[in-house]
Chains A and B, each alone.
Chain A
Amino acid sequence: MPDTGIASEPMLGAAIILKALQEQGVEVVFGYPGGAVLPIYDELFKQNSIRHILVRHEQGAVHAAEGYARSTGKVGVVLVTSGPGATNAVTGLTDALMDSIPIVCLTGQVPTHLIGNDAFQEADTTGITRPCTKHNYLVKDVNKLALIIHEAFYVARAGRPGPVVIDLPKDVVMTPGQYETAPRGIHRKKHKTYNPRTVPHDKAIEQAVDLMLAAKRPLFYTGGGVINAGPKASALLRELVDLTGFPITSTLMGLGAFPAAGPQWLGMVGMHGLYESNMAMYHCDVMINIGARFDDRVTGNLKFFSPGSKKIHVDIDPSSINKNVVVDVPVIGDAAVALEEMIRVFKAKRQHAPKVDTSAWWKSIAEWRARKCLNYTQAGKLIKPQYAIQRLYELTKDRETYITTEVGQHQMWAAQFYRFEHPNRWLTSGGLGTMGYGLPAAIGAQLAHRDALVVDIAGEASILMNIQELSTAVQFRLPVKIFIINNQYMGMVRQWQELLHGGRYSESYTDALPDFVKLAEAYHCVGLRVSDPANVDDTIKEMMAIDKPVIVDVLVDQKENCFPMIPSGKAHNEMILGTEAAAERTITGAGAALV
């Protein structure tokens, strides 16, 4: 391909789109056709290099693209029609924005001359998606189409990744225009406005390392930014943690960047994080935040958040710095570059620095660990949800396994009990908390990793939000496994009603649930059900042996709550463990107004 950026023969806008996607290395597009995108679908029909995955709802298309993106590190691509196609995609786009997932979403639009006339299936897509995308475009000139697509991929990937929408009026895609290749080599210029900083300031690294070397109670607090910075960042994180000997915790989004088997690993931090992690956050004297954003699920009450620590914050997005928590040493840059620099400077400075004794700190951590905050008792005839997930972990850990989740109690139990050793294996909706995320995300991940085991750990309520995507899984022979932790309640809602609203379970019980085994069969999948703890292992093994989509309906103890928990409005050192009496857990006062 010429790298001169010189225009080629004119071709239809729709053909330009396909060519630009091919040039960007796109292999898969998740989409759903409709009137405004028919010319694009016609071009799709004429070629073989890009595979189209027909979803059953546009929200599913975006989540599937997210699952694909998160499990591969590539940009996920979505193609939907105008109006309802675009509005249905909005939840997925918002999800991708909150979790910093690179997505390019092509939306059809009514022809240019009809825009603003309330035409059939018209929606102000760029207006609607402006706050839920990193950037969006309305293409009015077919000759700019190719470069806009190239730029969209750059914007989706560069800096803090995110979703980008390209709105395509039907007349533009039906008009011939010039194709332009993405500028390469010497023709590659800096983007005229968007050039996020990737290499941190030297002084920032120096000051960070100085704090680390003097720390008596250090703690790494890492997040999804490490995953987004690529496998190299995870490898460098392991190196730095090893080099320093410091303990490490992670947000929900960052699980897998550091191996759960590592002796310095404390487990997840935050509202349903581990006791030792939260206590370490509260008591540390130097906090090294890498690629996390001090989200309210992590910090608890900001007034009492880690009151005695100096804070280092590595983030590629300057707006994440000092947003919720004021930090002492901001390090703006790519996590991998920052880690590499920190390792280098740490090694150099360590020789001259006085040795700091952290043994008292490790002793405290050992005491917190000894509380065994995740303890539960599997006894009697009811399956404990924790037990089901723990067995799933034990039986699948030796395979290449990708775990997706829906949102709620099962998600938190999955984060607590499934132990991740590698990045990009854990796909969950963290920021937006989107029920219905897990199944389409599993489809996206399975598509990228045909031989891997992909399991959606689900709740019986969440799974119904995008259950139609089972049909997609079957059509494309994607043997995803749906492991439903079925307690017949919207479990997390029920738990909060117990803690906040006197046990008045308003609308959180689902009557008339479908028979999930028959549902699976109706979709040409396999359905399994287990209600006896003694049969959990066999059921999981059976599930794993079936080379088709499987729903496993795990009937669990309906009353089980997800602990430990930082009640809303409380600090890290006010965690409640599962053992306290219910009366002590009641949340009152200002905390009750928080979500």
Chain B
Amino acid sequence: MNTKPTAANAAVPGPAADQTANLYEGMVPVARLKDSRIYRHVLSVLVDNEAGVLARVTGLFSGRGYNIESLTVSEVDKEKQVSRINVVTSGTHQVIEQIKAQLGRLVPVHVVRDLTDDGPSIERELALMKVVGVGKKRTDALRWADKHGAHIVESTPKSFVFQLVGTTMEINDFIIGLQPLGLIEVSRTGAAAIASGEKAIDHQDENPADADIKLSQ
């Protein structure tokens, strides 16, 4: 249990205390929660890489009716057996806060980070696109790929497989342009994301030091 402030130092905040001074971990301003607009959020979740953990996360989304735009999962620390799940979801602030809280209370979850809320972040996905065609369509497709910086990972006399790495929006734009040029198949990874700058997501969760552990009675 942490040290408790004594009666003497239990300060009475004045009426002029500004909004931010009243904020604390776990508190979300009412005005934000009552905003009914929908926002897209990228969440990164570090989980123990154990059987069923992905099912727990996806089951939570389907069971509670949350939206998943994309989801990627892969082990990121072999030694500690930690996997990272990146979820792109959308909802009101209230729903996003609820999603984070629901994810946070799953037992194998180390930490949930809202990359959208926590400052600038970088988001990339990889897409493979197969284009079939000859003649002008084929040269137009090549030109379009070149313009967007897509790689040709396979080429046959009648087809190309392009690879593009970029943001979800960039890939969407690229695909729209390819559609009239013989696009027959798309395979996308969904977004991987990471925070900008020096800060790293912590492998340890950020539990309060006071957590009450009762492993035995």
Contact = CB atoms under 8 A, between A and B. Distances in A.
B is a partner of A: yes
Contacts of B51: 126, 138
A323 B11 CA distance: 31
Contact of B1 (A127, A160, A337): A337
Contacts of A206: 10-11, 13
Interface in B15-46: 22-28, 30, 33-34
A153 B2 CA distance: 25
Interface of B: 1-2, 4-5, 7-8, 10-13, 22-28, 30, 33-34, 48, 51-52, 55-56, 59, 63, 94, 97-98, 101-102, 104-110, 205, 207-208, 210-217
B216 A131 contact: no
B81 to A, nearest CB: 10
B12 A199 contact: no
A31 to B, nearest CB: 21
A207 B34 contact: no
A353 B106 CA distance: 42
Contacts of A345: 10
Contact of A23 (B108, B205, B216): B216
A568 B30 CA distance: 26
B207 A195 contact: yes
7 contacts: A135-B107, A157-B214, A182-B216, A197-B208, A199-B1, A202-B24, A326-B30
Interface residues of A, number: 64
Interface stretch (A184-192, A233-241, A490-498): A184-192
A199 B2 contact: yes
Contacts of B27: 201, 203-204, 329-330
A198 B210 contact: yes
A334 B212 contact: yes
Contacts of B107: 134-135, 155, 193-194
A308 B110 CA distance: 39
A283 to B, nearest CB: 20
Contacts of B34: 326
A321 interface: yes
Contacts of B52: 126-127, 130, 136, 138
Contacts of B33: 322, 326
Nearest to A158: B214
A136 B33 CA distance: 33
A349 B59 contact: no
A190 B211 contact: yes
Contacts, number: 143
Interface in A143-175: 150-151, 153-155, 157-160
B176 to A, nearest CB: 38
A281 B217 CA distance: 39
A581 to B, nearest CB: 39
A158 B212 contact: yes
A322 B211 contact: no
A318 B210 CA distance: 16
B5 to A, nearest CB: 6
A332 interface: yes
A93 B146 CA distance: 57
Given A193-B107, A322-B97, A328 B30 contact: yes
A317 interface: yes
A193 B110 contact: yes
B12 A203 contact: no
Contacts of A154: 213-215
Could you say which of A198, A318, A329, A347 has the most chain B C-beta atoms within 10 Å of its C-beta? A318
Contacts of B13: 206-207, 210
Contacts of A25: 217
Query: Which among A24, A189, A323 has the greatest number of chain B C-beta atoms within 10 A?
Result: A323
B208 A199 contact: yes
A231 interface: no
A193 B205 contact: yes
A349 B12 contact: yes
Contact of B216 (A184, A210, A334): A184
Given A130-B55, A135-B107, A203-B23, 19 more contacts: A23-B216, A131-B63, A150-B215, A154-B213, A157-B214, A158-B212, A191-B213, A191-B215, A193-B107, A195-B207, A197-B208, A198-B212, A202-B5, A202-B24, A207-B13, A210-B12, A317-B101, A344-B7, A344-B10
A141 to B, nearest CB: 12
B156 to A, nearest CB: 40
Contacts of A337: 1
B101 A318 contact: yes
Interface string A328-346: 1110101001000100110
Given A24-B216, A130-B59, A321 B30 contact: no
A578 interface: no
A582 B175 CA distance: 63
A88 B4 CA distance: 47
A504 to B, nearest CB: 32
Contact of B94 (A23, A326, A328): A326
B94 A195 contact: no
B59 A131 contact: yes
Given A192-B48, A326-B33, A182 B4 contact: no
Contacts of A332: 26
A352 interface: yes
B26 A190 contact: no
Contacts of A395: none
Interface in A1-39: 23-25
Nearest to B110: A193
Contact of B105 (A23, A159, A326, A353): A159
A348 interface: yes
B4 A193 contact: no
The 8 residue pairs across chains A and B that have the minimum distance between CB atoms: A195-B211, A348-B7, A319-B101, A195-B207, A203-B24, A182-B216, A135-B107, A199-B210
A430 interface: no
Contacts of A183: 215-216
B213 A204 contact: no
A184 B10 contact: no
A196 interface: yes
Contacts of B216: 23-24, 150, 182-184, 188
A337 B208 CA distance: 14
Given A130-B52, A330-B26, A344-B7, A197 B213 contact: no
A197 B211 contact: yes
A190 B208 CA distance: 11
B25 A201 contact: yes
Contacts of B97: 322
Nearest to A193: B110
A151 to B, nearest CB: 8
B7 A196 contact: no
Contacts of B105: 159-160, 196, 317-319
Contacts of B28: 322, 330
